[in-house]
A and B are shown apart, each in its own frame.
Chain A
Amino acid sequence: MSETFLPVLAGHAAGADAPDPVTPKNVPYHDGAANPSATGLAEKFGAAIVRTDVVWGETTVIVERSQVNAIVRWLHDDPAQRYDYCSDVTAVEYRDLERPIEVVWHLRSLPYRRFLRLKALIPRGQPLEVPSIWDIHRGVDWMERECYDMFGITFVGHPDLRRILMWEQYKEGFPLRKDFPLRGRFSRSEQLRQALAQNPEARYSMEELSIAEAFEDLPPDMRQRLGAGEKVGE
């Protein structure tokens, strides 16, 4: 961390003569002005870009799912794009069983004041796997875990992909999938029995809180207590 920290000013890369942002009016439902990054993506990645949709002025680029990491990397690094903020990772499953499951990334370029939505389609019958972009945006850690927890989508390359909302031993499946019953698969007494059998304190350990690495920075008395074997939880 030798380089100096520079705050990102929204829109500063768009140039001094760029117009001030205004609330858009009379936005067409389809075929509005696309985000300029979409053409850049099409030039750079070609066949990996399946389609570009503009709906209500927002650009959605549907990409080949194997290329997601490279595309996000390029959007992040390219000086003409600078998508430095990933605000959401989620998935969509449709009631129509023929339609593929979509994984959605919401990217925002603060320096250019741009918003871009990436989608990757996973056809039915194929393994629910997409590349993780954790190595580019560290903030997607918990979002990818939530997406895995709710939809069962595996983010290949995520360092610690486990459930985040439901407990880790949760056996009933992935709650936001369309084939998941609203009340769950088990009886209420069985659900309660499994819930009471979880050990919530097992993860609130030094490992989970990552204070093991910071052990040397702790106050001496705390270090002494923890070093003497005092443990929180089971």
Chain B
Amino acid sequence: MGLSPRPAANVVTVDPQSQESWVTTKLDFLVNWGRANSLWPMPFGTACCAIEFMASAASKFDLARFGMERMSFSPRQADVLICAGRVPFKLAPVIRRIWQQMPQPKWCISMGACASTGGMFDNYAVVQGIDTIIPVDVYVPGCPPRPEGLLYGIMMLQEKVKQERMADRSLRNEMEPDPTSQLYIPPSMIDELSEPFGNSIHQTRSGL
């Protein structure tokens, strides 16, 4: 596991003697550099993944290195929604509302197997992947993921943020759910995403 080396175009060399304390760079680079290094998380912790998330935020793994030590418990001051744990159907409108309350630019990390796919909870109560409710940028696998896994996901998100271009307006398009069904992707796609997989295909549809 490891990151590809950073593109050379993202490196600014500073030589104070020759440049007398000024640098030239691209606005995109400067803005993305600032955004990528101050992603304020909106923690949406519902299960054991949230424990690992707390461990990531604590001193040993230290999210502050990424400029993320400021947990934003208000969605209106948050940049990245970190969904850590399973989301039951009863919470679906809640996480949808939180996502809609977050201002652009915003990103979403789906942390753990349950948030990404429903995990082992292939049952009547659990949403089979939060990407059926809100768009997700980075999926972190694991049950639960270790803090290193989450940090790797965060660094991947930082890479994604650094490659964004301000000219590309489509990046900031707000999700627009269907007004009648409130779904933002077609129902057929939701059914396809929620198909049972792995061991759960052997489970019967009914107890009788």
Contact = CB atoms under 8 A, between A and B. Distances in A.
Contacts of B205: 181-183
A190 B188 CA distance: 10
A188 B207 contact: no
A181 B207 contact: yes
Interface residues of B, number: 31
B124 A182 contact: yes
A195 B89 contact: yes
Chain A CB within 10 Å, residue with most, of B92, B122, B177, B203: B92
B191 interface: yes
B93 A192 contact: no
Contacts of B127: 192, 195
Contact of A196 (B123, B128, B183): B183
A188 B206 contact: no
Interface string B166-208: 0000000000010001110001101101101000000111111
A195 B124 contact: no
A217 interface: no
B76 interface: no
A183 B90 contact: no
B122 A183 contact: yes
B181 to A, nearest CB: 5
Nearest to A175: B124
Contacts, number: 86
Contacts of A193: 181-183, 187
Nearest to A197: B182
Nearest to A178: B207
B89 A191 contact: yes
B204 to A, nearest CB: 7
B94 A192 contact: no
Kindly state the interface size class of chain A when it binds its partner: 20 to 34
Interface in A176-203: 178-184, 187-200
A215 to B, nearest CB: 27
A95 B207 contact: yes
Nearest to B187: A189
A196 B191 contact: no
A172 interface: yes
Contacts of A181: 124, 205-207
Contacts of A95: 207-208
Interface in B10-29: none
B160 interface: no
Contacts of B207: 95, 178-182
A151 to B, nearest CB: 13
B135 to A, nearest CB: 15
Nearest to B96: A196
Contacts of A195: 89-90, 92-93, 127
Interface in A153-186: 165-167, 172, 175, 178-184
Given A95-B207, A195-B90, A189 B124 contact: no
Contacts of B96: 196
A184 B127 CA distance: 12
B47 to A, nearest CB: 16
A218 B30 CA distance: 50
Contacts of A194: 89
Contact of B188 (A166, A183, A189): A189
Contacts of B206: 179-182
Interface of A: 95, 165-167, 172, 175, 178-184, 187-200
Interface of B: 89-90, 92-94, 96, 122-125, 127-128, 132-133, 177, 181-183, 187-188, 190-191, 193-194, 196, 203-208
Given A179-B206, A183-B122, A183-B123, 15 more contacts: A175-B125, A179-B208, A180-B206, A180-B207, A182-B123, A182-B204, A183-B205, A184-B123, A189-B183, A189-B188, A190-B187, A191-B124, A195-B127, A196-B96, A196-B183
Of all A-B residue pairs in the complex, the 4 with the closest CB atoms, nearest first, are A189-B187, A184-B124, A188-B194, A195-B89
6 contacts: A180-B124, A181-B207, A184-B123, A196-B93, A196-B96, A200-B93
